């Protein structure tokens, strides 16, 4: 599917409030139309009177693209994909001759998605910063921490693990108690779920797996806050190990299911696939669509009325909108992968220098890519697509909304 993004004069006019008065400060001077200078580290740039108009224009364009991606993702799953029926119907049908020829193959994809995010959290989201820290490059280690601008890393990563719970248990009703511990006794398990079909056949096996889910979740939230300041902690290493244990457990669990003919038939698994799609995936993407719409509105309100309160409101809504996204990461297959929507919305790390250059130039075409989504031999987006994706999405908004874990503030006149 070809994708093109257009940034017309009407959009920019709606997002631009005109020029602001010139101001001298430690980040340079200018008139709000790109005529300002900044020579420091891009990660340290501040929101100023000089760059405010450019700042809000950029946020508005990024928010619009994020809104478009979230809406498309929901539509692909719930309404129509590639001119046909919805991806939800395709996945539930698992017809012979397709990517998913049986219910067991669909269940295999569900478990593979769980493994992917367990491994990613342990090896990349936690592991990359640890490796860079141990190599002595502490600055690179901090920059490798996803969501470090907002100090929301632990929450993002723990929500990734919750997505695994939901996939296995067929429910989004997950309870985290006051001690930041995943409460397996109070969290809901759907009747038609991977958990229940195994519980009725081999209860110890599924209970052992769910304990690994809980351990990974709790270990992540046991890292002292913020993770960016505790990369070299024992708690971070423990969380990495817990995620590795969970990934190993999921591998063994998939092998078990593949060999248990008593419970891996279409008759047994069809209701499980339907529950997963109808009660986990589609509602999560519906929430994402709505919360991103509200984020777009909060950013528009901020652009129209530049106050500390509106910065706080937009930053708070960013956190709210992140939750359904992070709780979807156990099912990053289908349209979200095939159409490049995952890196569109959630690329990390960002090109911080590129963001500052766009702030100054107003060249929003740099956020644009067209044609089919393509990846290289490593599965990463090809260079021109990756460049566009590294200056847009959730984390670009995070960079523009937050500073040292707090919402940015409006400088005095």
**Is the separation of the CB atoms in 146 and 125 below 8 Å?**
yes
Query: What is residue 34's predicted lDDT score, i.e. its pLDDT?
Result: 59
Query: What is residue 334's predicted lDDT score, i.e. its pLDDT?
Result: 96
Q: How confident is the model at residue 4 (pLDDT cuts 50, 70, 90)?
A: very low
Mean per-residue pLDDT, 82-102: 93
Whether the pLDDT of residue 187 is over 60: the answer is yes
Mean per-residue pLDDT, 275-298: 98
Mean per-residue pLDDT, 351-356: 94
Nearest to 196 by CA among 207, 212, 182: 207
CATH superfamily of the domain spanning 87-278 = M75 peptidase, HXXE motif (1.20.1420.20)
- The three-state secondary structure class of 146 is coil
- The three-state secondary structure class of 372 is coil
Task: Give per-residue pLDDT as tens, 16-37.
Answer: 333 322 333 334 333 445 578 8
Task: Give per-residue pLDDT as tens, 66-78.
Answer: 999 999 999 999 9
Query: What is residue 33's predicted lDDT score, i.e. its pLDDT?
Result: 58
Mean per-residue pLDDT, 195-205: 96
Query: What is residue 378's predicted lDDT score, i.e. its pLDDT?
Result: 76
Is residue 371 left, alpha or beta, with left meaning phi > 0 and alpha meaning psi from -120 to 50?
A: left
Helices and strands, number each (H, E), in the chain: 18, 2
Percent of the chain with pLDDT over 70: 91
Task: Give per-residue pLDDT as tens, 218-245.
Answer: 999 999 999 999 999 999 999 999 999 9
Nearest to 244 by CA among 127, 390, 352, 402: 127
Cα 161 to Cα 207, 242, 294: the distances in Å are 16, 11, 25
Whether the pLDDT of residue 2 is over 60: the answer is no
Q: Which of 400 and 28 is assigned the larger pLDDT?
A: 400
């Amino acid at each position: 599917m070809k994708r093109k993004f257009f940034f017309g004069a009407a959009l920019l006019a709606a997002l631009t409030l005109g020029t602001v008065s010139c101001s001298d400060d430690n980040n340079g001077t200018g008139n709000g139309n790109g005529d300002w200078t900044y020579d420091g580290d891009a990660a340290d740039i501040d929101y100023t009177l000089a760059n405010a108009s450019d700042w809000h224009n950029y946020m508005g364009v990024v928010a619009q693209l994020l809104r478009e991606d979230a809406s498309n993702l929901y539509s692909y799953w719930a309404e129509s994909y590639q001119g046909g029926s919805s991806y939800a119907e395709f996945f539930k049908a698992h017809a012979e001759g397709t990517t998913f020829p049986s219910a067991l193959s669909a269940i295999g994809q569900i478990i593979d998605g769980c493994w992917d995010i367990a491994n990613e959290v342990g090896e990349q989201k936690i592991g990359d910063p640890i490796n860079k820290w141990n190599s002595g490059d502490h600055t690179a280690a901090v920059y490798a921490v996803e969501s470090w601008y907002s100090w929301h890393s632990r929450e993002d990563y723990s929500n990734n693990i919750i997505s695994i719970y939901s996939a296995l248990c067929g429910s989004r009703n997950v309870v985290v108690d006051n001690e930041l511990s995943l409460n397996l006794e109070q969290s809901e398990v759907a009747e038609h779920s991977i958990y229940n079909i195994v519980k009725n056949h081999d209860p110890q096996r599924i209970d052992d797996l769910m304990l690994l889910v809980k351990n990974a979740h709790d270990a992540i939230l046991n890292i002292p806050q913020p993770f960016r300041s505790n990369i070299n902690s024992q708690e971070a290493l423990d969380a990495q190990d817990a995620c590795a244990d969970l990934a190993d457990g999921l591998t063994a669990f998939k092998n078990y299911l593949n060999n248990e003919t008593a419970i891996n038939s279409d008759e047994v698994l069809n209701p499980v696939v339907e529950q997963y799609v109808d009660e986990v995936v589609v509602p999560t993407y519906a929430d994402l669509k709505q919360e991103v719409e509200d984020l777009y509105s909060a950013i528009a309100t901020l652009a129209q009325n530049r106050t500390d309160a509106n910065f706080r409101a937009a930053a708070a809504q960013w956190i709210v909108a992140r939750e359904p996204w992070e709780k979807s990461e156990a099912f990053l297959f289908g349209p979200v992968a095939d159409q490049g929507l995952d890196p569109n919305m959630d690329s990390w790390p960002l090109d911080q220098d590129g963001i500052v250059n766009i702030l100054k130039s107003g060249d929003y075409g740099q956020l644009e890519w067209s044609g089919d989504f393509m990846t290289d031999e490593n599965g990463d987006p090809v260079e021109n697509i990756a460049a566009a994706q590294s200056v847009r999405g959730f984390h670009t908004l995070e960079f523009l909304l937050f500073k040292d874990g707090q919402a940015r503030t409006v400088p005095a006149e």
